[in-house]
Structures are given as structure tokens and as C-alpha cells.
């Protein structure tokens, strides 16, 4: 295998793609390259199905400072090329490197996003934007790489002791989809293992969840956990309850599709609509169960952290004990889970920090 092909394979295995300059190769050499360039500047973006975050990142060692942070609705971005143009807008002087955290698997420098009708190719994006290097990284991998620098006051611990970044961490990214990743300590830093675990099978608990799974299977075929544990998933749970005879909420029926998950949550938290309340009850118990599943699969002794835009809006509900009860309900493994923290991150900047660090660690500035 040629060195170039070996580098491409390594990048694909890590969930990161870079184009432009030649990679520096092993991790020690990448660390040396970072030390040789004490301050680097690049554009970073966190791309979601409903919103996109942009910033200019200035990196010194492992310290990332974000400037010109902006947010726009994804519906205002018609294409990946427009996304990169938006990210570069106002970043004067224009950086020569961009790192994009994208919602889907990155393979050989490209990503077909799961919940957006986009295909991103790092080579094409760099050429069209006139950049030296574009890095594509899975969004949860970016969030995981940025998590160790999350301030303690941005982590709401629901169960157990404090989250420990010196031990294995597991991440759930709860938004328009369901991302999963594992973060393991490595030397003086961390390695992120990207995953598409949100597309693994939904494991219903109890008669009501089994009936929900059966109804979804009849219409969707395969029922992944993302189909019920995401913004659209909350709507599917609500629709299932309505179809089972519970009263519909006129506000939800009249709302635009993108507003329905938030509206169901609002009505449930206000305790003004019984179907929304039950839908949210089911939703948080599925969340707790899946968090427990991931804790067992990863042996996440450092903790399981729920990230994304949904969980911070549900803190009142998540604190009522239901999610923790479902997290611990693993039979013979309950004692193990009692020692694993479960927390909610309110740090929206973690994916931006992580995208910047992953770009540097992949040698994006190696030719400078």
C-alpha cells in the first residue's frame, strides 16, 4: 500500500477526511507539527438538520478560542458550497483551512448526510472555495473531541459523581437525529471513536413501547432507535398515542413540521395536554434506556453525556427520576451502572472546539 493510500485509509477509519497538503502521519509527528505552529486560525462549522453554527477558531496547543460565532437556520443554506461560503463570510483575513462537523459518516473524504439531502466532498469544497484544506468530521466525533474542555458548570449531572475525562466517556447527540460516539484517553489527549449507533435497532421496553415499535415497523420497516429518540421521534411517539385514541392537541396539529417537537415538549412541561405529557414520558425513558445501553457497550466509567439541542430544554423533566430509573434498569448490571455518571451538556460550543482540534491533529496545517 502506498503512503498516500495508507493515509487516506487512516483518515477514513477515524471518521475524518482532509485534502490539500500531505498528512504528517503518526500521532507523535502530528503533535510535533502543532508545537511548531503555536497559533493556528481556521473556520469551523457544526452542521445540523435545523441549524448551523459557525466560528473562527484560534488554536494554541489544545486551547481553542472561538471568534465571530454565528448561528443560522439550516433551511437558509441551500447547498454544501453555500454552507462553506457562509462559514467564510466575515472571517477577515480569510483562513485557508476549514473544518466542518457534519451529521453522518465520513468515508474517503466525503459524507452523505443522514437527515439532510446533501453530499459533501472535501476535495470539491476546497477547490470551489479556494481553500488549501477542508476537513470533514462526524459531528459527534467533533463534539466528543471538544467535550473534555467543557466547563463543569455546563454539565448537569443527573446521576452519580462528576464526569471524568480521564476515563472512557460515551456520548449521545440528541437532536434532529441521534448521534453516538465514544471518547477514550490517549496519552496526554483523547481519541474519539465515531459511531452510527443511532441507526441500531430500537429495543422497546414494556407493552406500550412494543406496540409503538410494531406500528412504526409496519410503516418504516426497520425501526432504529433514532426513529423514536430524536426530535422527529418525539413526534412519532405523539402520533402513535393519538392514533391509539388519546386526544390530539390542536396546537400541534396546526404547527409546521419543524415546530412540532418543541411544541409537544412545551405543552408537556406546562402539563396542559395529556398526550404530550405521556409522549414525553415515553421519550425520556427511551433516552435513559439507550444511555444505559451505551454505557454498557463502551464501559463508560467516565460517564455518559447527552449533548445536542433537545436535552437542555428538558432539564426539568429529566430531573424527575424517570430517565435515571430507565438508565439503571439493566438487571444484573445495575450495580455497574450505579457507578457511572449520567449528565446533560449545555455546552453548544463543544463541536466547534472539537472540529478545530481534529483538523490540527490530522495535520491540516502541516505544510505551513
Mean pLDDT of 44-51: 91
- Mean pLDDT, the chain, rounded, equals 88
CATH class of 3-142+350-361: alpha beta
CATH class of 197-345: alpha beta
pLDDT band at 39 (very low <50, low <70, confident <90, very high): confident
Q: Which three cell numbers stand for residue 125?
A: 469544497
pLDDT score of 51 more than 70 = yes
Q: Determine contact, residues 340/155, Cβ cutoff 8 Å.
A: no
Angle between helices 274-298 and 206-220 (to 10 degrees): 90
Q: Residue 356 carries which DSSP code? A: H
User: Residues 296-339: pLDDT tens digits?
Assistant: 999 999 999 999 999 999 999 999 999 999 999 999 999 999 99
| Closest to 338 measured CA to CA, from 172, 161, 184 | 161
pLDDT score of 99 more than 70 = yes
End-to-end Cα separation, the chain, in angstroms: 27
Rounded-to-integer distance, Cα 36 and Cα 272, Å: 59
Segments of the chain assigned to CATH 3.40.367.20: 197-345
pLDDT score of 25 more than 60 = no
- Tell me the longest C-alpha to C-alpha distance in the chain: 66
Per-residue pLDDT, 89: 87
Does an H or E element contain 174, and which? strand 169-174
Per-residue pLDDT, 214: 98
- Percent of the residues in the chain that have a pLDDT greater than 90, as a whole number: 77
Q: Determine contact, residues 278/234, Cβ cutoff 8 Å.
A: no
Segments of the chain assigned to CATH 3.30.420.40: 3-142+350-361
Per-residue pLDDT, 187: 86
pLDDT score of 166 more than 90 = yes
User: Residues 219-267: pLDDT tens digits?
Assistant: 999 999 999 999 999 999 999 999 999 999 999 999 999 899 999 999 9
Per-residue pLDDT, 258: 87
Rounded-to-integer distance, Cα 103 and Cα 114, Å: 6
Rounded-to-integer distance, Cα 135 and Cα 340, Å: 33
Question: Which CA distances in Å does 190 have to 80, 142, 169, 187?
Answer: 29, 12, 10, 7
pLDDT band at 351 (very low <50, low <70, confident <90, very high): very high
| Closest to 327 measured CA to CA, from 354, 356, 304 | 304
Does an H or E element contain 178, and which? strand 178-186
**DSSP of 102-165, one letter per residue?**
ESS--BTTEEE-SSSS-EEEHHHHHHHHT-SEEEEEEHHHHHHHHGGGS-GGGEEEEESS---T
Amino acid at each position: 500500500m502506498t503512503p498516500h493510500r495508507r493515509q487516506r485509509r487512516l483518515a477514513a477509519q477515524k471518521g475524518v477526511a482532509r485534502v490539500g497538503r500531505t498528512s504528517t502521519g503518526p500521532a507523535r509527528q502530528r503533535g510535533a507539527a502543532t508545537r511548531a505552529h503555536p497559533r493556528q486560525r481556521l473556520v469551523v462549522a457544526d452542521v445540523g438538520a435545523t441549524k448551523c453554527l459557525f466560528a473562527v477558531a484560534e488554536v494554541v496547543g489544545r486551547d481553542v478560542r472561538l471568534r465571530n460565532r454565528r448561528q443560522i437556520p439550516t433551511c437558509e443554506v441551500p447547498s454544501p458550497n453555500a454552507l462553506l461560503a457562509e462559514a467564510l463570510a466575515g472571517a477577515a483575513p480569510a483562513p485557508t483551512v476549514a473544518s466542518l462537523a457534519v451529521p453522518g459518516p465520513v468515508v474517503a473524504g466525503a459524507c452523505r448526510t443522514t437527515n439532510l439531502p446533501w453530499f459533501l466532498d472535501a476535495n470539491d469544497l476546497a477547490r470551489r472555495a479556494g481553500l488549501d484544506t477542508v476537513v470533514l468530521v462526524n459531528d459527534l466525533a467533533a463534539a466528543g473531541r471538544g467535550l473534555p474542555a467543557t466547563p463543569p458548570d455546563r454539565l448537569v449531572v443527573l446521576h452519580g459523581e462528576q464526569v471524568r475525562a480521564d476515563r472512557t466517556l460515551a456520548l449521545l447527540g440528541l437532536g434532529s437525529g441521534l448521534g453516538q460516539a465514544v471518547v477514550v484517553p490517549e496519552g496526554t489527549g483523547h481519541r474519539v471513536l465515531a459511531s452510527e449507533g443511532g441507526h441500531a435497532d430500537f429495543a422497546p421496553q414494556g407493552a406500550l413501547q412494543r406496540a409503538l415499535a410494531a406500528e412504526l415497523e409496519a410503516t418504516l420497516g426497520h425501526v432504529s432507535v433514532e426513529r423514536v429518540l430524536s426530535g422527529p421521534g418525539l413526534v412519532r411517539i405523539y402520533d402513535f398515542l393519538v392514533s391509539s385514541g388519546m386526544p390530539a392537541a390542536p396546537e400541534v396539529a396546526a404547527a409546521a413540521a419543524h415546530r412540532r417537537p418543541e411544541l409537544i415538549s412545551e405543552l408537556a412541561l406546562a402539563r396542559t395536554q395529556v398526550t404530550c405529557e405521556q409522549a414525553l414520558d415515553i421519550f425520556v425513558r427511551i433516552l435513559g434506556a439507550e444511555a444505559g445501553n451505551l454505557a454498557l457497550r463502551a464501559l463508560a466509567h467516565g460517564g455518559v453525556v447527552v449533548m445536542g439541542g433537545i436535552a437542555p430544554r428538558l432539564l426539568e423533566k429529566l430531573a424527575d427520576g424517570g430517565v435515571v430509573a430507565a438508565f439503571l434498569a439493566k438487571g444484573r448490571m445495575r450495580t455497574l451502572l450505579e457507578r457511572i455518571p449520567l449528565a446533560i451538556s449545555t455546552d453548544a460550543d463543544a463541536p466547534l472546539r472539537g472540529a478545530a482540534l481534529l483538523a490540527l491533529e490530522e495535520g491540516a496545517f502541516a505544510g505551513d
